[in-house]
């Protein structure tokens, strides 16, 4: 078991004929992902990386029975690509996972897309502006996104993060204490996204393979505080946390569209305090996440 | 992206939201002509800068730093006063609680007719990250700092979330107007105004529209007396006209250059330059530098797919900052390959010269190749295996730390 994406999940790529889509679809296949097709309107009938290209998501899901899709469509069209995918999964098989990697989608497009997905109970959106989701396997596994596959290994640590490279850092930290990962999810750094921290924590809590969780937040908004309060009431598994942006000046966007301290709210300090109040073991330096995790595992009798 | 009040008012007016008559001026002469043209006995003479707190700010002479006048927004009761205020504002520096001590030079002025105010309100439209909808916030406490109102009297702030499937509905506009205590013609005026403003928020891809104060006139009309509007930069591709509204003098030159190269850069006050891939890791790198007693000079995310040329530009931006006494490069290669970074670093230092210590931490894709390239060069590069080691090394190399 892992969460949301099983090792052998059947995966589509939207925007597979584009430069980014083709490059990353290739890397996904190299890792072991079960790629079953791609979608580019107007290019149906072609073949890319040995899989068929379809004109629409409805057609692609009907033909391949896909479980999930990864979107590499450019920002002007990505909001609509999410909606197309949500509609197709709902219509054809009643459920599905949509992973949107695209960075730079207009916020109001995401307001519409997020509302559309939220109205379809069994359709899940991860991202946008995220590295994706990966479930490492014994050999290979399922990689839906742009993360470097080779740094991961199958194991019992669940990782959830707003950032890309900082997630890789967290993965490397678990490996440094000889722990692998159940599933790693980048929820993305945009102000409006799909799946949030709480849904990830809740799924990790319910997943028998996951025995401990690493949660990486950053400045902006209050998703981390809400997640911490939720975890305090609902999580029995040990959680280790870090928040990026303690030195970020107020009112300035730090790369991610959502990483901004506005009106004095959403500071790293606020979030660290919320983590600590919820019993989450914090590292102030991400290079110490491994050691903090090790201590938490020992305390829980897991090492 | 922020725009000036006068630009925001033009957008509001075009959208059908009532604003007062006003004229954008760049000289004292313009201001006098505007006064004559407006034909209003009382006018507001308003500094145009992208920062709040203008009314309570102070004007200073840019050379002598002597105080010129209290307040960056003045009410003039005569032509002579318009002349005095305009000449005290234009070309001088306005310092407000939001500008920092250095303040901002004022090149633009807005001269606006007066009106008879019966009550001042606060109104804002923005995106609610938690509810994932547009949020409309209003309060009877206009003209005040809304953060203070939210903190001291939260019951005086009224909110509506707009369901994107349904849009802004009539009962929501009515409820909000009634919560503000409006009735009769004022309620009707508010109802109509709010619909137009919401439509503008959506069609213009706004990130925020803040009207403080929104006023009820003695004739029971609702008018936007101020305007603070910002756009969602992700939507720039469908708003070609934004380019004309951009005031580059309000942005740091180097931040503009970084953006043009596809880099994300924010200047800070410290002395350790950082070059990192990924926004989260870039923030974490700054945090760890500080944790080990140093001060970061910048935030710099080269992104996931930077090439050698971008790395070179990133390096030159860091080196141009006279405060920089050392550099920490921190790369966790995903899509980004460590060998590309290594080549970019060597290329940049060869063409730009390097007289400050450089610590490089590489991990991830093609790390061994990257390390080998750096080791083979004759540059004085200090390698580090993890972020903590990198931060400690650069802090000690510049002789900093506690």
Note whether B395 contacts A: Cβ–Cβ < 8 A.
no
Question: Residues 91-120, chain B: which have Cβ within 8 Å of A?
Answer: none
Tell which wins on pLDDT, B18 or B344: B18
CA–CA separation, B180 and B157 (whole Å): 9
pLDDT tens digits for range A62-83: 999 999 999 999 999 999 999 9
Assess A244–B contact: CB distance below 8 Å, yes or no. Answer: yes
Listed by number, the residues of chain B in 300-319 with a beta carbon closer than 8 Å to a beta carbon of chain A are 301, 304
B290 and A242 within 8 Å at the Cβ level: the answer is no
The pLDDT tens digits for B178-211 are 999 999 999 999 999 999 999 999 999 999 999 9
Q: Do B237 and A248 touch (CB under 8 A)?
A: no
- Per-residue pLDDT tens listing for chain A (303 residues): 689 999 999 999 999 999 989 999 999 999 999 999 999 999 999 999 999 999 999 999 999 999 999 999 999 999 999 999 999 999 999 999 999 999 999 999 999 999 999 999 999 999 999 999 999 999 889 999 999 999 999 999 999 999 889 999 999 999 999 999 999 999 998 999 999 999 999 999 999 999 999 999 999 999 999 999 999 999 999 999 999 999 999 888 888 888 888 877 899 999 999 999 999 999 999 999 999 999 999 999 999
Chain B contact present for A143, CB below 8 A:
no
pLDDT at B366: 87
Residues 18-57 of A with CB under 8 A from B: 24
From chain A, the residues in CB contact with B386 under 8 A are 287
Higher pLDDT, B394 or B306: B394
A146–B334 CB contact, under 8 Å = yes
Residues 159-188 of chain A with CB under 8 A from chain B are 161-169, 172
Which chain A residues are closer than 8 Å to B329 by Cβ? none
Q: Which of A225, A195, A216, A204 is nearest to A128 (CA)?
A: A195
Does A241 touch chain B if contact means CB atoms closer than 8 Å? no
Nearest neighbour of A263 by CB, restricted to B147, B332, B363 = B147
Range B78-86 contact pairs with CB under 8 angstroms and sequence separation of 24 or more = B79/B32, B79/B35, B79/B36, B82/B31, B82/B32, B82/B35, B82/B43, B82/B45, B82/B111, B83/B28, B83/B31, B83/B32, B85/B45, B86/B25, B86/B28, B86/B31, B86/B32, B86/B45, B86/B111
Residue of chain B whose alpha carbon sits nearest to that of A252 = B266
Instruction: Tell me the angle at which helices A107-118 and A75-92 cross, rounded to the nearest 10 degrees.
Output: 10
pLDDT for position B52:
86
| Partners of residue B288 in chain A, C-beta under 8 Å | 285-287
Instruction: Give the lowest-confidence range in A11-20, B224-233, B244-253.
Output: B244-253
The pLDDT of residue B349 is above 90: no
Beta strands in B152-244 (DSSP E): 157-162, 206-217, 222-224, 228-231
In this prediction the ipTM stands at 0.92
Residue B173's pLDDT is what?
98
Q: Give CA angle at A278 (A204, B155), nearest 5°.
A: 110
Look at the block and give the residue holding tokens 């760049």.
B26
- Report CB contact under 8 Å: A189, B164: no
Is A256 among the catalytic positions?
yes
Beta strand A141-145 with A132-136 is antiparallel
Q: What is the pTM of this model?
A: 0.93
Q: Does A256 touch chain B (CB under 8 A)?
A: yes
* CB < 8 Å to A174, chain B: none
Interface of B with A in 13-32 (CB under 8 A): none
Q: Do B283 and A254 touch (CB under 8 A)?
A: yes
Q: pLDDT by residue (tens digit) across A86-130?
A: 999 999 999 999 999 999 999 999 999 999 999 999 999 999 999
Is residue A91 within 8 Å of residue A66, measured between CB atoms? Answer: no
Report the pLDDT value the prediction gives residue A285, as an integer from 0 to 100: 94
Mean pLDDT of chain B: 93
Q: How far is B69 from chain A (nearest CA, A)?
A: 27
By C-alpha distance, the chain B residue nearest A220 is B129
Other C-beta atoms within 10 Å of B307: how many?
13
List of chain B residues whose C-beta atoms are within 8 Å of the C-beta of residue A218? 279-280, 283
Average pLDDT of the segment spanning B243-263 = 88
| B179, two tokens | 């919560």
Query: Hey, are the CB atoms on A246 and B147 less than 8 Å from each other?
Result: no
Measured between CA atoms, the residue of chain B closest to residue A269 is B287
- Chain B residue with minimal CA distance to A227? B130
**Which residues in chain B (164-183) have CB-CB distances under 8 A to chain A?**
164-165
**In angstroms, what separates the C-alpha of A68 from chain B's closest C-alpha?**
22
Cis preceding-peptide flag for A211 (omega within 30 of 0): no
Both structure tokens of B379: 């540059």
Per-residue pLDDT, B254:
86
What's the gap in Å between the CA of A288 and the closest CA on chain B?
Answer: 8
Q: In the prediction, which pLDDT does B402 show?
A: 44
What pLDDT is recorded for position B148? 84
> Which are the catalytic amino acids of B?
122, 210
- CB < 8 Å to A106, chain B: 205, 232, 234-235, 238
Q: Which of B207, B283, B288 sits opposite A218 (nearest CB)?
A: B283
Of A50, A53, A18, give the one whose Cα is nearest residue A34. Answer: A50
Six-digit token pair at A275?
């983590």
**What's the mean pLDDT in B118-130?**
95
For the residues B258-277, what does the mean pLDDT come to?
Answer: 92
If DSSP codes are grouped into helix, strand and coil, which group holds residue A23? helix
> pLDDT-based confidence at B400, cuts 50/70/90?
low
CB nearest to B234's CB, from A106, A218, A226 = A106
Pairing of strands A212-218, A239-244: parallel
Asked if the Cβ–Cβ distance from A169 to B132 is below 8 Å, we say: no
Is B268 a residue whose pLDDT tops 60? yes
For B133, the closest of A111, A119, A146 (CB atoms) is: A111
Q: Quickly tell me which residue has 């002349």 as its tokens.
A: B83
Q: Mean of the pLDDT values across residues B74-97?
A: 96
CA distances from B169 to B17, B164, B194 (A): 18, 11, 10
Catalytic residue, from A24, A150, A152, A256: name it.
Answer: A256
Residue B258 CA: distances (Å) to CA of A285, B111, B129, B310: 27, 35, 28, 9
Q: How many helices (H) and strands (E) does chain B have?
A: 13, 20
Q: Phi and psi dihedrals of B376, rounded to 5? A: -75, -20
Nearest CA in chain B to A262: B147
Which of B165, B202, B277 faces A165 most closely, judged by CB atoms? B277
The two tokens of residue B199 are: 């439509």
Selecting from A106, A148, A242 the residue whose C-beta is nearest the C-beta of B365 gives A148
- Token reading at B41: 């006995």
Beta-carbon count within 10 A of B218 CB:
11
């Amino acid at each position: 078991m892992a969460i949301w994406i099983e090792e052998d999940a059947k995966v589509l790529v939207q925007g597979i004929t584009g430069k980014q889509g083709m490059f990353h679809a290739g890397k996904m296949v190299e890792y072991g992902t079960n790629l079953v097709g791609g979608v580019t309107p107007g290019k149906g009938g072609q073949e890319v990386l040995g899989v068929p290209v379809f004109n629409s998501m409805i057609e692609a899901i009907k033909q391949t029975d896909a479980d999930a899709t990864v979107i590499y469509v450019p920002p002007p069209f990505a909001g609509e690509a999410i909606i197309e995918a949500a509609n197709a999964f709902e219509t054809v098989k009643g459920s599905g996972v949509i992973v949107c990697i695209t960075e730079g989608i207009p916020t109001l497009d995401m307001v519409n897309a997020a509302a559309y997905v939220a109205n379809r109970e069994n359709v899940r959106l991860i991202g946008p502006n995220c590295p994706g989701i990966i479930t490492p396997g014994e050999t290979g596994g399922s990689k839906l996104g742009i993360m470097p596959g080779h740094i991961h290994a199958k194991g019992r640590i669940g990782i959830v993060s707003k950032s890309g490279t900082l997630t890789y850092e967290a993965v490397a930290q678990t490996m440094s204490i000889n722990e692998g990962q159940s599933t790693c999810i980048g929820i993305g750094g945009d102000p409006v996204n799909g799946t949030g921290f709480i849904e990830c924590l809740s799924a990790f809590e319910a997943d028998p393979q996951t025995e401990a969780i690493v949660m990486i937040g950053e400045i902006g908004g209050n998703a981390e505080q809400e997640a911490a309060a939720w975890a305090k009431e609902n999580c029995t598994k040990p959680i280790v946390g870090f928040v990026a942006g303690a030195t970020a000046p107020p009112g300035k966007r730090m790369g991610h569209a959502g990483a901004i301290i506005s009106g004095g709210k959403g500071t790293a300090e606020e979030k660290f305090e919320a983590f600590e109040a919820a019993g989450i073991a914090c590292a102030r330096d991400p290079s110490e996440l491994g050691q903090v995790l090790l201590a938490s595992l020992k305390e829980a009798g897991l090492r | 992206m922020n725009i000036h009040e006068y630009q925001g008012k033009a957008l509001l007016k075009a959208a059908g939201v009532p604003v007062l008559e006003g004229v954008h001026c760049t000289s004292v002469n313009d201001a006098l002509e505007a006064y004559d043209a407006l034909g209003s006995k009382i006018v507001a003479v308003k500094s145009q800068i992208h920062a709040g707190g203008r009314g309570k700010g102070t004007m200073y002479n840019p050379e002598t730093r002597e105080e010129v006048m209290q307040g960056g927004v003045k009410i003039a009761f005569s032509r002579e006063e318009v002349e005095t205020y305009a000449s005290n504002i234009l070309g001088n520096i306005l310092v407000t609680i939001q500008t920092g001590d250095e303040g901002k030079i004022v090149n633009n002025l807005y001269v606006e007719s007066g009106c008879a105010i019966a009550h001042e309100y606060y109104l804002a439209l923005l995106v609610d990250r938690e509810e994932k909808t547009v949020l409309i916030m209003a309060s009877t406490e206009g003209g005040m700092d809304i953060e203070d109102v939210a903190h001291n009297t939260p019951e005086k702030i009224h909110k509506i979330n707009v369901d994107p499937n349904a849009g802004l509905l009539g009962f929501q506009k009515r409820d909000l107007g009634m919560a503000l205590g409006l009735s009769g013609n004022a309620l009707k005026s508010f109802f109509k105004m709010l619909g137009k403003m919401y439509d503008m928020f959506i069609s213009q891809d706004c990130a925020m529209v803040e009207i403080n104060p929104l006023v009820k006139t003695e004739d029971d009309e609702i008018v936007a007396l101020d305007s603070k509007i910002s756009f969602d930069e992700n939507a720039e591709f469908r708003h070609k006209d934004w380019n004309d509204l951009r005031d580059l003098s309000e942005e740091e030159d180097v931040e503009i250059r970084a953006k043009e190269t596809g880099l994300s850069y924010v200047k800070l006050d410290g002395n350790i330059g950082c070059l990192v891939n990924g926004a989260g890791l870039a923030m974490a790198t700054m945090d760890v530098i500080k944790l080990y007693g140093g001060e970061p000079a910048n935030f710099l995310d080269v992104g996931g797919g930077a090439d050698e040329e971008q790395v070179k530009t990133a390096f030159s931006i860091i080196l141009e900052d006279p405060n920089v006494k050392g550099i920490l490069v921190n790369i966790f290669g995903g899509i980004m390959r460590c060998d590309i970074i290594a080549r970019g670093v060597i290329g940049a230092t060869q063409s730009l010269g390097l007289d400050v210590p450089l610590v490089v931490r590489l991990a991830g894709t093609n790390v061994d190749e990257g390390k080998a390239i750096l080791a083979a060069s004759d540059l004085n590069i200090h390698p580090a295996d993890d972020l903590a080691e990198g931060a400690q090394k650069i802090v000690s190399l510049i002789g900093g730390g506690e």
